[in-house]
Amino acid sequence: MKTNVLAIILSGAVATLAIGDAMAQTQNSRSTYFLEGSTYRHELNPAFMGERGYVSFPGLGNLTIGAQSTGGVGDFIFKKANGELTTFMNEEVSSAEFLKGLPKRLKVGVNVDESILSLGFYAWGGFNTLGISVKSNTNVFMPDELFKFMKNGVASETGSSYNVKNVNIVSTNYAEIAFGHSREINERLTVGAKVKALVGLAKATMHIDELNILASQDQWTITPKNAELYMSAKGLIVPTKGETGNYQEDDYILDANGDRTPILKDGTDGQISYDDIDFDTDNLGPTGFGMAIDLGATYKLNDEWTFSASLLDLGFISWKNTTKGTMSKDFTFNGFSDISVKDDGTDNNKKLDTQVDELVDDLADLAKFDKAGEGLKRTTALAATLHLGAQYTLPAYDRLSFGFLSTTRMQGKHSWTEARVSANVAPLSWFEASVNYALSNFGSDAGIMLNFHPRGFNFFIGADVPMCKYEPAYYAPISRAAVNVNMGINFTFGPKHKRKYKTVETQSL
């Protein structure tokens, strides 16, 4: 497989779905939202106050990994008649069979959120938090028309045309230093806020408004429209093919017999050579700085009902050391000629992983960006998240509560929404658990969270798993899915927090 940046990003859309090891879903697990003993609830709503002060175990205080996609392994990997697995490009898989289950828009997230060090303590009239964390978020958006083109190619003797719109890939990697403060305003209202200093580590963005594709028997002609690529990183080296002399097979003009000539196609020298992208290891470091804020509030209507809301990651990062690429010229594409699409006895030893690698490589060849500038600056906004919550505590047994949480992720084409219901129980003073179910753009999932919080120590672990069928060979979801794993180890100190205002008048709804 090519070790170029673009192929790695594109593999999030295809290879990750095939092998089922993508990780996504930023921030603390939403399964902890209604667990009052949870150490990191303030990550979901800065108005939430901790049960005690705490200090995290370095690197393991709060680790969140997972996966989400509007497509699944069953949309791209199929079983042949002999039981072996193959990609959708195989001739045994009909176009109708492949396209019937394909989502109109394929969205894939690949993200990791890790707390490096975190501290919480009571002072200055409220609860305060200080945290250092690293976040990596990659999101892919691809229309079904692209996969129709890949599968069907030249569908008739007169040729075929395709209009692929809105291909969008963004990868954001940064460190965060956050200071938060929450306090009780009165017996009903608690408010909180966080101020975050952001340190940009790396950023890559690719968007293509349109790819107009004319597939004939002789050649496939690609006409791009409004296509731009940005890569930001300290020490990043982005050479052109002309600078490296590293040309690909389809960079050369073919003769009348379809054989390669030594003549390069026009404009090839200025194209980015993805294989040769590298880093100057003596010049690594931050490549951008920014700021963000979190805002939150809770309102205790009475002893049974509590409502809450938060708006997270309102901010931006200004990036330096940015290389820009553009794609505006027509070019010819040789097609997915190396993919195992036929069972003719010549490629029986070609494993599924190899087929997927070749598929991703050829997909990357559709993005022939010319280098248009380097050392540039650009500013991008963070993806904001809105939480709206309602919690009902059972009057007959106040250790049992039920919650509803609405989550909206605001990130343009990568936006999504989720509704989650949960049952939360704290049978012991040092143990609580949540069982929940969610519906979102990525299907449905069920989750469980266990939180152990005796004096001096806190350990929590939980997971959200898709409610769908799995491919046994990879134990990966066949259809759209969201999966999430969250764990952490922390050390607590001080007495349990007692509310400043204890009395809430009972008021009916």
Structural domain spans, the chain:
5-238+277-493
Considering only residues 253 and 418, tell me which one the structure prediction assigns the higher pLDDT. 418
C-alpha span between 465 and 451 (Å, rounded): 18
Alpha carbon 157 to chain centroid distance? 41
**More confident of the two residues 139 and 307:** 307
Which DSSP string do the residues of 117-183 spell out, in sequence order? Answer: EEEEEEETTEEEEEEEEEEEEEEEEEEHHHHHHHHHSS-STT-EEEEEEEEEEEEEEEEEEEEEEEE
- pLDDT score at 468: 63
- Are the beta carbons of 404 and 50 closer than 8 angstroms? no
Query: pLDDT-derived band of residue 11, with 50, 70 and 90 as boundaries?
Result: very low
Q: What is the pLDDT of residue 434?
A: 96
**pLDDT band at 284, cuts 50/70/90?**
confident
As a whole number, the mean pLDDT across the chain is: 84
Average pLDDT, integer, range 311-318: 97
* Comparison of pLDDT for 300 and 67, the residue scoring more: 300
How deeply is 190 buried, as exposed, middle or buried, from its count of CB atoms within 10 A (0-12, 13-18, 19+)? buried
Helices (H), 278-367: 352-364
What percent of the chain shows pLDDT beyond 70? Answer: 83
Mean pLDDT to the nearest integer, 404-417: 91
CATH code of the domain occupying 5-238+277-493: 2.40.160
pLDDT for 346? 45
At 474 the pLDDT is 56
Q: For residues 300-313, give the mean pLDDT.
A: 96
**What is the per-residue pLDDT for 246?**
87
Lowest mean pLDDT among 67-81, 115-129, 365-379: 67-81
Confidence of residue 263 (pLDDT cuts 50, 70, 90): confident
| Structure-model confidence comparison of residues 348 and 416, the more confident one | 416
The pLDDT-based confidence of 508 (bands split at 50, 70, 90) is very low
Residue type, 329: K
What mean pLDDT do residues 167-172 have? 92
pLDDT classification of 101: cutoffs 50, 70, 90: confident
Collect all residues with Cβ–Cβ distance below 8 Å to 489 and sequence separation of at least 6. Answer: 56, 57, 60, 61, 458, 459
How far is the C-alpha of 427 from the C-alpha of 35, rounded, in Å?
Answer: 12
Higher pLDDT, 301 or 158: 301
